[in-house]
Amino acid sequence: MPEGDTVYREAAQLNAALAGSVLTRCDLRVPAFATVDLAGETVHEVVSRGKHLLMRVGDATIHSHLKMEGTWHVYPTGGSWRRPSFKARAILANDRFTVVGFDLGLLEVVPTEAEASVVGYLGPDLLGPDWNPDAALANLLRDPHRAVGLALLDQRIMAGLGNVYRSELCFLRGIPPTQAVGEVREPAKLIELAQRLIAANRDRTERTTTGNLFRDRLWVYGRGGQPCRRCSTRIERGLLGDDELQLRDVWWCPSCQPRFSITD
């Protein structure tokens, strides 16, 4: 599941391949935008905004989101692809490179001046030049009754975190994911840690929260039933969502992340 660090890295790779060049091919394979052809236009830049990707081409922005399965690949123009062509949703090329978006969860084109209509609702971007921890904290504390494990996934509060980080952050701060936001000790430190962790991973191909690069990279995510790396207690797995349709797996150590009351 791509998180903000993955999208940041993909944006950097796409920007290196396309920025400053003129498109020789633009093939968007979604019905609503199939007739949009930006060939002949100059690519200004490719940037990430939380988990969203914005490709600014001519006066337009190609907005995409990877959702669960999506990925962008960069190939030499004329070279072969590592995924089947029928899975391609967007193909953009210049003389040297062809970038292909496979299985994109979302693909649309908007005028660049109207970008706010598609990403304006996002909270401060953890990896953005305008990162603002105070605004993120204020957003987080607005709903003190919400489970912290849900708030961390809410891109309106701060943009960039996904399912891996929400479990890992709760572990590192010793908070059960179901703890209400208003009952989290030192919530500013949770936000600071979120930014530090995702920034440390943005240039790595393998994400780590333990500091180990080659094995044992995560504390609890995906480790249900296995011993906690700190205390050997069995890691628990549960489901957490704002409603039944949005339930997502979450992992925690019941010993390292005990329930507590802020008045304890």
What are the residue numbers of the active site?
2-3, 51
- Please identify, using beta-carbon distances, which residue of 87 and 234 lies nearer to Zn ion: 234
Which residue, among 10, 54, 56, 63, has the nearest Cα to 33 in the 3D structure? Answer: 63
Q: How many chain residues interact with Zn ion (CB under 5 A)?
A: 7
Strand partners, 45: 56
- Please identify, using beta-carbon distances, which residue of 54 and 175 lies nearer to Zn ion: 175
> Least distance to Zn ion from the beta carbon of 217, Å?
17
Candidate residues 117, 212, 246, 255; the one interacting with Zn ion per rule CB under 5 A: 255
Strands laid side by side in the 52-57 sheet? 43-49, 52-57, 60-65, 106-111
- Please identify, using beta-carbon distances, which residue of 113 and 216 lies nearer to Zn ion: 216
Rule CB under 5 A: is residue 253 a binding residue for Zn ion? yes
User: Strand 60-65 and strand 52-57: pairing?
Assistant: antiparallel
- Please identify, using beta-carbon distances, which residue of 161 and 256 lies nearer to Zn ion: 256
> Least distance to Zn ion from the beta carbon of 255, Å?
5
Report how far residue 253's alpha carbon sits from residue 251's, in angstroms, rounded to the nearest whole number: 7
Which residue, among 108, 73, 111, 71, has the nearest Cα to 92 in the 3D structure? Answer: 73
Query: What's the longest Cα–Cα distance across the chain?
Result: 65
> Least distance to Zn ion from the beta carbon of 211, Å?
17
**Residue nearest Zn ion, CB atom distance:** 228
Q: Rounded to whole angstroms, what are the CA distances from 176 to 163, 219, 249?
A: 14, 14, 14
Residues between 213 and 242 that touch Zn ion (CB under 5 A): 228, 230-231, 233
Which residue, among 213, 143, 172, 206, has the nearest Cα to 6 in the 3D structure? Answer: 206
> Least distance to Zn ion from the beta carbon of 228, Å?
3
| Interface positions with Zn ion (CB under 5 A) | 228, 230-231, 233, 253, 255-256
